[in-house]
Chains A and B, each alone.
Chain A
Amino acid sequence: MNNKNLFWFNTVTLVLICSLFITGCWDQKELQDRAFIMTVGIDVADEGLGATGSPPYEVSVQVLKLAAGASEKQSAQEAKTYVLSGRGESIFEIIRQLYSNSSKALWFEHLQAIIISRKAIEKKGLKPVLDFFIRDSETRWKIKLFTTQNKVRQFLEYQPPTGEAGGIFLDELIDQYTRNPEIAGRLLDLGYINLLLDTKKEVFMPQISMQKKKIQITGADVYRGNTYLGHYDEYSIKGQKFIIGGVESAIIAVPYPPGTDTIMALEIFKIVSKLEPHVNEDEIYFTLDIFIRGNVGEKQITREVIDLDDSKQIIAFEEAINNEIKTNIMYGLNQSRRIGADFLQFSDKLRAHYPETWARLKEKWSNIYPTIPLYVRVESHVRHRGEHL
């Protein structure tokens, strides 16, 4: 065989070999053969005990309904999802049991939210409940977690008024934390909660409840292991987010002039928080410096009373905002101290900056934490008055 023929022989052989690898793969599964799970709800049964002596899990999955050829009007009226439920000792096993109700493979790649009842966490522990989702490569890190005091299945059956699937509604609902600082949402997804659990830290999870047949986020529950420590209300969450630098945008409304019942609001668009530990011999304290920039967002007072052309008024308004934020921070801190959950990264800061002090105190940290002073300094700057004075 001459060189030219050898070249063509090699080329054709290579192409033929390559074609073996493009015929498809073992993992091929058509879209219409998959059942997309949007939300998983985990609860424990009210009655009966499992083989381990504890009540069995009740797992519900919200499956996306893929309807071909439905008109837009029909599509808007029809439910987008349906719910399958099972009961057992292992979450993975229950999910496989659900195949007896589903003609399609249950597919967790697009799972948006997991709702766990407080009762399930107390009976089983959060780590065991989440283990399957952490171990499986199909599930994503950014799945949103919720807890509730109610039965879980009703949240999976809920049809959002916007017409979207329930899981997507929940995912987007929690993402509103960027606009509403009273929603706990930042770094509270499956991956990050698992990181906190790995280091045996307290975990806080957004709580949802059903009010007038509508889903609402109502603060957050705090857990250590499988112990429920307490509940943070919305105002407390906002205060704590100021401490850990978790506020991206906020509206701060204060009575202005101070002591009156008229309101002025600042729209915050930039916040920088700096929490620093200080150790002075046996004394430990923290300082928090917050720098805020924003615009006047609302003024319910006439121009004759408050003239925003007057820079003294602007400075006084900034001072009122500073005081309100300090009050909010101390409220959040006190709730955290009362519950005894150091979610404010005090221990992380101490470990990073004063490792020897931390090594000495870490065993008794839960007792020491509520007594550590925090000194707060807030500096807010108004950048714009808005379009109208």
Chain B
Amino acid sequence: MVSRTTDSISVLQLGVVVLAATLGGQLIITSRNLIKSGGEAAWISVIAGGIVYGLVAVMMIKIGRHFPNDTFVEYMPKIWGKFAGGLIILWFYLLFIAQAAVILQGFGKFIKYFMFDKTPQIVIPATMVLACAYCALHKINIIVKVLSILAVLTTPVLGVWLLALQNFNAEMLLPIIPFNWPKFAQGLQSAWNVFAGYEIIMVVLPLVSWKSPGLSPETGVVWTFAILTVFFAVVIAIIIGVLGAEQAALFTAPAVTVIKGVEVPGTFAERLENLLMIFWIPLVFDTIVVFMYTLAKVVQIKFSLQDHRPALVMQIPIIFFLTELNNHLPNYEIASKYIMYAGIVFSLIVIPLSLLMVLWKQRSLAGDGYEQ
């Protein structure tokens, strides 16, 4: 059971944590695969992905409501039994630690390529991991304050992308009809990458003071997903509208390339893609902080530790090792692909089944005359 006296956040802050977990590396790193899979209608796949994963997030809260003081580390064994529940916890842990490594590797690659081409790549994720670890050592309410300040940076990031509208051609988004269902399905599959990280809800939910009047966690999460979906769909539509779907898929980072065509005469910052990268750094910082905190919290609860800090310090070399393991390009691409599959199965099968199991058990208990 997690102590709520010192570790407590509001529903609004839960939204900030989910935003921080999803807004970081994912869009810039994965936009190419998403557009390659989804074609001209990739932005529609993102909207559909927002609805699907938003519903899964609501399911997570519904499960959490049955175990108000437990994280999923405590309630999964109660739902699935000790062995299967343990496997799900391990699955979650491996998924997050691998995802953190992929984001850090992608971050290191892009920062090196676009900004610091002479800097040894190893230094970039290493510095980031250490900086994130320092922040993640604190309690969640302190972390949320840091995230809230840095989340403000989302606005200029979107602003930089909106500048690309000067080269936007709406016809690049066509044709929508006849609707290409196979492409849409592929795009929907890749859309998990964009929203990846929202699963932290299952760990931080018990820390939310949801009994206080006001916004319910469900409403908070729906609003968060609405913001995320609009943000991601707008950016993907801009990329396709400027570069074209076929061409965007030929660039390593179309989300950055799209800015290269922007010209704002008279401004001191001529290379706006560098500006985007600068704003991107704190967003990745936010994401990795949330990931590291979540991972440490899972270990703390699983092994009944007093504090998440020892677990956090212990996982620094693991994350760093996994990041370096992905240094070779084929490894990185294979890891990204299998992490995506593992994430999709976790979201679309494990969570709905867990909710069904909870409801089924509740009905059985009610049938036997018990009251919750």
Contact = CB atoms under 8 A, between A and B. Distances in A.
A199 interface: yes
Contacts of B127: 21
A80 interface: no
B244 interface: yes
Interface string A111-150: 0000000000000000000000000011011100000000
Contact of A142 (B120, B123, B175, B263): B263
A198 B171 contact: no
A195 B247 contact: yes
A192 B167 CA distance: 10
Nearest to B177: A355
Interface in A341-362: 348-349, 351-353, 355-356
Contacts of B119: 25-27
Interface string B77-118: 000000000000000000000000000000000000111111
Nearest to B173: A352
Contact of A137 (B117, B118, B172, B263): B117
A340 interface: no
Interface string B234-262: 00000000011011001000000100110
B243 A353 contact: no
Given A137-B113, A192-B261, A198 B246 contact: yes
Given A25-B119, A191-B261, A198 B178 contact: no
B243 A195 contact: yes
A352 B175 contact: yes
Contacts of B178: 355-356
B179 to A, nearest CB: 11
A191 B260 contact: yes
User: In the complex, which range does the number of interface residues on chain B fall in?
Assistant: 20 to 34
A353 B172 CA distance: 10
A365 to B, nearest CB: 16
Contacts of B260: 140-142, 191
Contacts of A199: 244, 246-247
B66 interface: no
B271 interface: yes
Interface in B104-162: 113-120, 123, 127, 134
B172 to A, nearest CB: 8
B117 A27 contact: yes
A248 to B, nearest CB: 13
Contacts of A349: 171
Contacts of A14: 134
A199 B174 CA distance: 16
A26 B261 contact: no
Given A192-B261, A352-B175, A25 B116 contact: yes
Q: Looking at B123, B134, B167, B260, which has the most chain A CB atoms within 10 Å of its CB?
A: B260
Contact of B116 (A27, A140, A191, A198): A27
A352 to B, nearest CB: 4
Q: Looking at A142, A195, A349, A356, which has the most chain B CB atoms within 10 Å of its CB?
A: A195
Nearest to B246: A199
Given A27-B116, A195-B244, 15 more contacts: A21-B127, A25-B118, A25-B119, A26-B116, A26-B119, A141-B261, A142-B260, A191-B257, A191-B260, A198-B246, A198-B247, A198-B250, A199-B247, A351-B175, A353-B171
Top-4 shortest CB links A-B: A141-B260, A352-B174, A355-B175, A352-B171
